Structures are given as structure tokens and as C-alpha cells.
Amino acid sequence: MKASVIGTGRMGQGLVKILQGHVPNLRWGSRSKEKAEGLIRENGYTGVAAADIGEALDSDMIIHSLWFRDVLPWAEAHRDRLAGKILVDIVNPFTEDFSDFTTEWGESAAELLQAHLPQTKVVGAFKNTFFRVFDNPVLDGLKSDVYVTSDDAAAKASVLELLRGIPFRVLDGGALNNNRTIERMTLFERELAIRYGFYPNVSFRLFGLRDGI
């Protein structure tokens, strides 16, 4: 299965950092292919190819790192190209100042994206992971958790398999509607991290589960 990461911001760079070496022939898509090429050279990544957006959309699995304000218009614009593919959604629907949500209580970004793209298999992942955690997913010997969610069991299984071996503990997070909780807990953990002085090195870790389950 061919996979692409779209976006060269902090989250896109973090995703490529932990996926390169684990995902063969990874494509890194950007509006500026030259920027992706420069980042690949700068970091010495191997097995990663820069791509424009059109080339990145040729993959079977696309992991976007767009802001929520941009992702629904982007999805609409590429609806036909995304049909039948797996789209991994990492976004949280925060307001511009991170004070609240742009979704209602009974909604999540992942569910809205799935509603906009009924022919696409939307999978949620990395929503609880802030950009700094990609630099060091293991703290005091404990791996940060990644919760993988979807209403399509086969698509979720494909993402779980793709992420096998990355330096996170990757867990089956159930259905897409669980992102209503995950997305809101992510804003809460940000508030706590700022209050206690360790933002942005913040993520989730569920105790009581063994690694390698």
C-alpha cells in the first residue's frame, strides 16, 4: 500500500520524521514540492519522495496535516480523487486562539470529514499528539499513545498495520464518534500542559495496558 503525508508544517514534518524508515516509498506532498525536497535533504531522510498535491493523491492512503478550517474545502475540491482511498485525519477543530471548538458537542472533525466524503474511508489518528512529541515519543521509558479510529474496520486495520513499529504505542480507538472525546481531551491536555509548564511536550498515555498488546 502506497502512503502519502500532505503538509510540510510542524505536524507534517513530525509525521514524516516518525514514518520514514517504517513506511516504504513514502510520499511527502506539498503545495511547494521544492520545500518538501529541501526538508528531505536537510534531514537526510531516505525512502521519502517529494510530491506535489496531485502526485500525493495517487497513494492508497493519505495522511493530511491541514488545519480544520482548510480540510473540508480541500476535501470537497479533491472529492473524486479521494474516493475509495483511506484518508487519515489528525486534525482538531479548535478555534484560532485555542479557546474553544468550532464543532458542536455531538460532533467531531473526523465525523464531519467522513460526512463530506462518503466514498472515502476516514480514519482518525494522532489527534492527541502535539508536534513536539514526534521528537521524543518516549518519556521516562513510557511510549505516547496513538488512538486509531474508524467506522471502516478494514481501513482501520490497514492504518494499524502501517503504524506498526513506529516509536508510539498504537491502539485501536474504536469508532469515529470516539473522536468527540479524543479531540476535546486534547484541548484539555493543552490547557494543563500550559498551566504546569510542559507544553508542547504533551500527549496521552493510558496506564494499565502492556506495551506490545
Q: Residue 210 pLDDT more than 90?
A: no
Asked, for residue 95, whether it belongs to a domain, the answer is yes
> What is the spatial distance between Cα 94 and Cα 36, in angstroms, rounded to a whole number?
26
Mean predicted lDDT score pLDDT of the chain: 95
Helix (H, G, I), strand (E, B) or coil at 101: strand
What are the Cα distances from residue 159, in Å, to 95, 105, 124, 140? 28, 27, 9, 27
State residue 146 phi and psi, 5-degree precision. -125, 125
Asked, for residue 204, whether it belongs to a domain, the answer is no
> What is the spatial distance between Cα 83 and Cα 69, in angstroms, rounded to a whole number?
21
Residue 147 buriedness (CB in 10 A; 0-12 / 13-18 / 19+): buried
101-126 average pLDDT score:
96
Residue 84: its pLDDT value, please?
Answer: 98
> What is the spatial distance between Cα 36 and Cα 161, in angstroms, rounded to a whole number?
25
> What is the spatial distance between Cα 51 and Cα 175, in angstroms, rounded to a whole number?
31
Counted domains in the chain: 1
Asked, for residue 190, whether it belongs to a domain, the answer is yes
Q: Residue 213 pLDDT more than 70?
A: no
pLDDT tens, position by position, 10-65: 999 999 999 999 999 999 999 999 999 999 999 999 999 999 999 999 999 999 99
Residue 212: its pLDDT value, please?
Answer: 67
> What is the spatial distance between Cα 102 and Cα 124, in angstroms, rounded to a whole number?
18
Asked, for residue 188, whether it belongs to a domain, the answer is yes
Asked, for residue 9, whether it belongs to a domain, the answer is yes
> What is the spatial distance between Cα 47 and Cα 93, in angstroms, rounded to a whole number?
32
Q: Which domain holds residue 48?
A: 3-196
Asked, for residue 210, whether it belongs to a domain, the answer is no
Specify the CATH number for the domain of residue 99. 3.40.50.720
141-154 average pLDDT score:
96
60 contacts 85 by C-beta, under 8 angstroms: yes
117-126 average pLDDT score:
98
Asked, for residue 67, whether it belongs to a domain, the answer is yes
Asked, for residue 138, whether it belongs to a domain, the answer is yes
